[in-house]
C-alpha cells in the first residue's frame, strides 16, 4: 500500500479548470450520436476519391477505402480514451519531494479540425504535486489521448493542462506545445518550417513569475 506523507509544501492549490472536471471523467464519444457503419464510412471514402477525379475501380485504389477507415480508427482512437483512467494511479512515496516535475520533448501528432490535415511537434509538461505523483508515462499517454482527436493546437494545450489540473489537483500546471501544421506548410500560404507555440499556466506557474521563468528555462535547456 502506498505510504501517506505530508503535503509537499504549503500554498494555494492550482486554479480550477475552466472546463468542468466531469468532462475529463469519460471518453469523448457522443453516445447520443448515430455513427455511420464501417461500410458507410468506406463508401464515403470512395466518394471522395471519385470527387478528386480518381478511378475507384483501378487496382491501386480497390482497398483504399478499407485502409483509410482502418487508419482513421488508429489516428482518432483518442475519442475512446478517458483522461481520468489514464491518470487514475498515483504514488505517495516521494521522500518529501517538493519541486515541480517536468517532462520535456513529448512527441505528438494530431489533425487540424479545419482541414483534417496533420500537425505535429513536441509537448513540454510540468506540474507541482501536493502529496502524490503520477507515473511519467501517463502524462505522455494523456497527450496522445487528446492529440488523437480532431483539434486546434490551442484547444489541445488547454485540454492537457485542464485534465491534469482537474484530476491530479496539483499546485500548478505548465504546458508548452510547439508544432508545425501541414495545413499551413503544404497548402494555402505554404510556409514550410513555421512553428506554432502555445502555452497554458495555472496555479504557481501563473501566479509566480519566477516559477514560470524557471520552467521555461528548463524547457529550453538553459
| Residue 17 confidence (pLDDT) | 47
| Residue 25 confidence (pLDDT) | 81
Kind of pairing between the strands at 101-112 and 150-151: parallel
pLDDT tens for each residue of 134-151:
999 999 999 999 999 999
Percent helix, percent strand, percent coil in the chain, to nearest 5 = 40, 20, 40
Residue 204 and residue 126: Cα distance in Å, rounded? 11
The pLDDT-based confidence of 19 (bands split at 50, 70, 90) is low
pLDDT at 8 over 50: no
**CB proximity list for 82: less than 8 A, separation 6 or greater:** 24, 25, 26, 27, 145
pLDDT tens for each residue of 28-55:
888 778 889 999 999 999 999 999 999 9
pLDDT at 6 over 50: no
Which conformational region is residue 174 in: left (phi greater than 0), alpha (psi within -120 to 50 degrees), or beta? beta
The three-class DSSP label of residue 126 is strand
Positions annotated as catalytic residues are 112-115, 153, 181, 183
Lowest-confidence segment of 18-27, 53-62, 79-88, 174-183 by average pLDDT:
18-27
Q: Please give the grid coordinates belonging to residue 41.
A: 464510412
| Residue 31 confidence (pLDDT) | 76
pLDDT at 9 over 50: no
The pLDDT-based confidence of 18 (bands split at 50, 70, 90) is low
pLDDT at 56 over 50: yes
The three-class DSSP label of residue 193 is coil
| Residue 22 confidence (pLDDT) | 72
Asked if residue 215 lies in contact with residue 102, where contact means CB atoms within 8 angstroms, the answer is yes
| Residue 150 confidence (pLDDT) | 97
| Residue 1 confidence (pLDDT) | 36
| Residue 10 confidence (pLDDT) | 42
| Residue 51 confidence (pLDDT) | 98
Mean pLDDT value of segment 169-180: 98
pLDDT at 13 over 70: no
Amino acid at each position: 500500500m502506498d505510504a501517506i506523507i505530508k503535503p509537499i509544501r504549503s500554498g494555494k492549490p492550482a486554479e480550477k479548470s475552466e472546463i468542468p472536471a466531469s468532462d475529463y471523467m469519460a471518453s469523448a464519444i457522443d453516445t447520443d450520436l448515430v455513427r455511420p457503419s464501417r461500410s458507410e464510412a468506406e463508401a464515403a471514402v470512395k466518394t471522395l476519391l471519385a470527387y478528386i477525379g480518381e478511378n475507384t475501380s483501378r487496382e491501386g485504389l480497390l482497398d483504399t477505402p478499407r485502409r483509410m477507415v482502418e487508419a482513421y480508427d488508429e489516428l482518432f482512437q483518442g475519442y475512446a480514451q478517458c483522461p481520468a483512467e489514464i491518470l487514475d494511479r498515483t504514488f505517495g512515496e516521494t521522500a518529501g519531494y517538493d519541486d515541480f516535475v517536468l517532462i520535456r520533448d513529448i512527441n505528438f501528432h494530431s489533425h487540424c479540425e479545419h482541414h483534417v490535415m496533420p500537425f505535429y511537434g513536441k509537448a513540454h509538461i510540468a506540474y507541482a504535486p501536493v502529496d502524490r505523483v503520477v507515473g511519467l508515462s501517463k502524462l505522455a499517454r494523456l497527450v496522445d489521448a487528446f492529440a488523437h482527436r480532431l483539434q486546434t493546437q490551442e484547444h489541445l494545450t488547454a485540454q492537457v493542462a485542464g485534465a491534469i489540473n482537474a484530476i491530479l489537483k496539483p499546485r500548478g500546471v505548465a504546458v508548452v506545445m510547439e508544432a508545425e501544421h501541414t495545413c499551413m506548410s503544404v497548402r494555402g500560404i505554404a510556409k514550410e518550417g513555421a512553428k506554432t507555440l502555445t502555452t497554458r499556466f495555472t496555479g504557481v506557474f501563473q501566479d509566480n513569475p519566477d516559477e514560470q521563468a524557471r520552467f521555461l528555462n528548463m524547457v529550453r535547456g538553459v
